[in-house]
Structure 1
Amino acid sequence: MTGGAVSSVRRRWWAWALAALVVVLAAAPLVVTWLTNADDQRLVDLDVYRTGGQMVLDGRPVYDFFTPAPQLLPFTYPPISVLLAVPLAMMSWDAAQWVWTAGVFVALGVTVWFAFRRTLEGKKYAPWLFAALMVACTYLMPIRDQVRFGQVDILLVALCLADCMAKRPWWPRGFLIGLATAVKLTPGVFLIYLLVTKQWKTFWMASFAAALLTLLPFAVIPQDAADFWFSALLDPERLGSNAATTNQSLRGMLIRLYLPDALTTVLWLALVALVAWYGFRGAYRAYQAKDTLTAVALVGLMAVLLSPVAWIHHLAWIVVVLGALAGAGRDRVRLWVAGGVWLYYVLPIPWWGVSLKAAEIPVLSPVVGKLVQNAYGLGALVLVWLLAAWLPKRRTILPD
């Protein structure tokens, strides 16, 4: 290597190191806010994971415990998740908080890289653009909630995205999707995507990994495994109030209409069928057009919309959507649209709807307030249309 090449490599490393420092400094206010919050409001989902791991270590029933008041949260994930949480239980609470929060940002970094790879690759200013994108995505409300609650969703996004987007993976392609599906079921929509797109080898690997990791707990914690699959899984109320504002799935939006239960169920099943048909058809067409990123973004939105319960932090898939909309960064219209979507999911719009409903303004509060309360779920539906219908037409005007 020549002296000039060595100097260039050194400058590049320094650029990446400084870019990482920028991200740390920009994210510090968010991290410090939540990691210095009151104990009963600090990373409450991480507390659930650790307590589940402690139940395994103590030989106590995993799906019977609740975290202390005022949260009173049960463990709701499949049994393999609680086995993976055992190392967290072996750490101190303070150490687990910092390790987990660092992991959230590593997963976000992986997600941002794959989502915006077309924009970043080959650019001299890539470190600075990457830092800017990391900071912008950190303050999306679904990502803020990842830090606030100590949630696992961004890790699942990173696993599925890397599995689909890596050019030459060192792991068997499909394994990471299988792992994500075993950990939290909703990534199972990627199995449907692999079937629809006839990626048979990847589908069988993902199915094998998911099945293996699902069956393994029956050999290690058989009673807990049986408790989950034959009892806890069948109780959607274990996840919390399904009518809460934070549930932005199709079902959550319908429940907040307070129609008769039977009618709500019929409408939900009809909408699930319609949205699934439209979304997976769009993903298939994107895959056929060799736009895997858009296909993954659409499938990620399916994981949110079709699930019976999808909290706001499940919308971590918005990072992938933004990357698909931005493309290679050459189309100003697409960049403006991506910027608008970013702003929409930075603002706490659903909570504005709650405030508007509470104001009890005739006509405005009950109608407009409810629409605003469902803003993130309705926005996700619009994003499905943008990715499946608008983006292909836009690409004919100005190809990536």
Structure 2
Amino acid sequence: MTSPPARRPAVPRHRWILAVVLVALAASPVALRYLVFWPLDQWQVDVDVYRQAGVSILTGRPVYSAMTEAPQLLPFTYPPFAAFLGIPLALIPFGVVGWLWTAMQVVATTAIVWYAGRALLARSGSWLPLALAALTAPMLWLHPVGDGIRFGQVNAFIVLACVMDLVEPRPRLARWLPKGALIGLAMAVKLTPGVFVVHFLLTRRWKEAATAVASAAVATLLAAAVLPGTSWTYWTFALRDPTRLGPNAGTANQSVRGFLLRLGPEGLPGTVIWLVVVAGIAWVGFRLAARMYRAGDPVGELAVVGIVACLVSPVSWVHHYHWVVVVVLALLGARPWEERHRLWAAAAVTVFFTLRLPWWGIDWLAQRDWPQWPGRMLQNADVAGGLACLALLWWSARRRDRETGAGAGAGADPDVEARPSSPALA
């Protein structure tokens, strides 16, 4: 006779209320900086891009020709399906949209911590709400998260969709969908989650790969059915025009390609070097992600694939590194107080990505009489930070394999299918 499942300890309602207040207080410095004290001509410029796409659909103007108001003059650069997300925003005053979008990003980041940190949070008992708030607060101060709030970006929602898709137990909202469906919808909004399809194929998860591609294709075809001309413009012109994304060599592009564009060489030699470097990063990263998958560590798996996407993508703005939230939780694991190396690693990543080092580099390089190399190092700090995240995740996985005696299987070929045991939630 099986014993009934243990009941979760009752959580007093006032602790949930206090947790909401604490998260709001933690978000307030970022929100005040970018929503109250920020110049109006730079206010929530990226969510305005989505909103204007919605206006274009409602008014019949060309989606990919319209620009936001001066001085930004930003075009819509995302797939046509993403333009439909702007329709509800077009029905709301822009001032309200900025505050609403910020609140939604805070909620999404909190949800990422909830789902990705569930193994750790489950140990807090009736103090779970305050533990959740304590974990979420420093995540809201990360430079990538703050930049997402500054511009009104979508990366918090992209990361949340991927986390809800793969971390077990899946939330009720996603449980009725096959695995890969939410990642596919994220691909229809932004192309970068497509890196998960490569990961699925390398780990021989044919169903998840097919589901992701199918859901992205259905969303894309529905958009094409409603807006055929717009879809044709995107896939034949807008997608291939890198100038629509902004200056690829600017400091905000913290991909390997951005790093090489800033340092050279230019032209074909630079392209060859970039392809060789990203191929090496992808090879190491996908092997590590497969290792995490076989170990039943979906949070570590997500963290690795997300950071690989940031590094190998031609353009990865600072806010694309919202994946650092998942990295921190993957490093913490379920019992960081028993494995102090996890605490130190997670703390180091959190501090590093809170410091806004690329902008320190800009300030340094502005001093003409100072040596340039320290400024260049700071300017490319997030690229180095992404590589350090992969190294720390590999180090953590290796220590875990040693402690559990799983080292023999950890180096196995990732092309060999090996379904993991139940997710590491214990």
Global fold match (TM > 0.5): yes
- State the 1:28 CA deviation: 1.8
1:241-260 alignment runs, 5 A limit? 241-260=247-266
Measure, in 1, the Cα distance between the counterparts of 2:247 and 2:114: 35
Q: Which residue of 1 aligns with 2:213?
A: 207
1:139-218 alignment runs, 5 A limit? 139-168=141-170, 169-218=175-224
1:76-115 alignment runs, 5 A limit? 76-115=77-116
8 Å CA contact retained: 1:279, 1:302 = yes
Measure, in 1, the Cα distance between the counterparts of 2:234 and 2:136: 36
Q: Which residue of 2 aligns with 1:234?
A: 240
Measure, in 1, the Cα distance between the counterparts of 2:385 and 2:22: 31
- Root-mean-square deviation (CA, aligned residues, Å) is 1.8
Q: Which residue of 2 aligns with 1:42?
A: 43
- State the 1:72 CA deviation: 1.2
Which stretches in structure 2 are left out of the alignment for 5+ residues? 1-5, 405-423
- State the 1:397 CA deviation: 5.6
Measure, in 2, the Cα distance between the counterparts of 1:299 and 1:26: 28
- State the 1:316 CA deviation: 0.1
Deviations 1:13-45 (A, max 9, x none): 321221111111221232123222332111110
- Describe the SS at the equivalent of 2:12: helix
Mapped pair 1:14 → 2:14: yes
- State the 1:322 CA deviation: 0.3
Deviations 1:246-283 (A, max 9, x none): 10001000000132211110111111111111100110
Which stretches in structure 1 are left out of the alignment for 5+ residues? none
Deviations 1:83-115 (A, max 9, x none): 121111111112222221121112111111122
**Which of these residues, 296, 307, 312, is aligned with residue 306 of structure 1?**
312
Mapped pair 1:291 → 2:301: no
- Describe the SS at the equivalent of 2:124: coil
Higher helix share: 1
8 Å CA contact retained: 1:331, 1:398 = no
**Which of these residues, 337, 341, 352, is aligned with residue 333 of structure 1?**
341
- State the 1:352 CA deviation: 1.4
- State the 1:231 CA deviation: 0.2
Which consecutive aligned stretches of 4+ in structure 1 deviate over 6 angstroms post-superposition? none
Q: Give the partner amino acid of 1:157.
A: V
Q: Which residue of 2 aligns with 1:392?
A: 397
8 Å CA contact retained: 2:101, 2:152 = yes
Question: Which TM-score applies when normalising by structure 2?
Answer: 0.88
Q: Which residue of 2 aligns with 1:32?
A: 32
Deviations 1:360-394 (A, max 9, x none): 346x31x2221111001111012112213x11222
Number of equivalenced pairs? 392
Measure, in 2, the Cα distance between the counterparts of 1:384 and 1:237: 30
Q: Percent identity?
A: 45
Q: Give the partner amino acid of 1:380.
A: G
Mapped pair 1:346 → 2:347: no
Measure, in 1, the Cα distance between the counterparts of 2:346 and 2:403: 16
Q: Give the partner amino acid of 2:245.
A: L
Q: Give the partner amino acid of 1:22.
A: L
- State the 1:188 CA deviation: 0.5
Question: Which TM-score applies when normalising by structure 1?
Answer: 0.94
Measure, in 1, the Cα distance between the counterparts of 2:92 and 2:339: 48
Q: Give the partner amino acid of 2:314.
A: P
Measure, in 2, the Cα distance between the counterparts of 1:278 and 1:29: 38
8 Å CA contact retained: 1:249, 1:311 = yes
Q: Which residue of 1 aligns with 2:417?
A: none
1:67-78 alignment runs, 5 A limit? 67-78=68-79
1:367-378 alignment runs, 5 A limit? 367-378=373-384
Q: Which residue of 1 aligns with 2:410?
A: none
Q: Give the partner amino acid of 2:129.
A: P
Measure, in 2, the Cα distance between the counterparts of 1:291 and 1:268: 30
Measure, in 1, the Cα distance between the counterparts of 2:185 and 2:14: 35
Measure, in 2, the Cα distance between the counterparts of 1:39 and 1:360: 31
Mapped pair 1:359 → 2:367: yes
- State the 1:340 CA deviation: 0.9
Q: Which residue of 2 aligns with 1:223?
A: 229
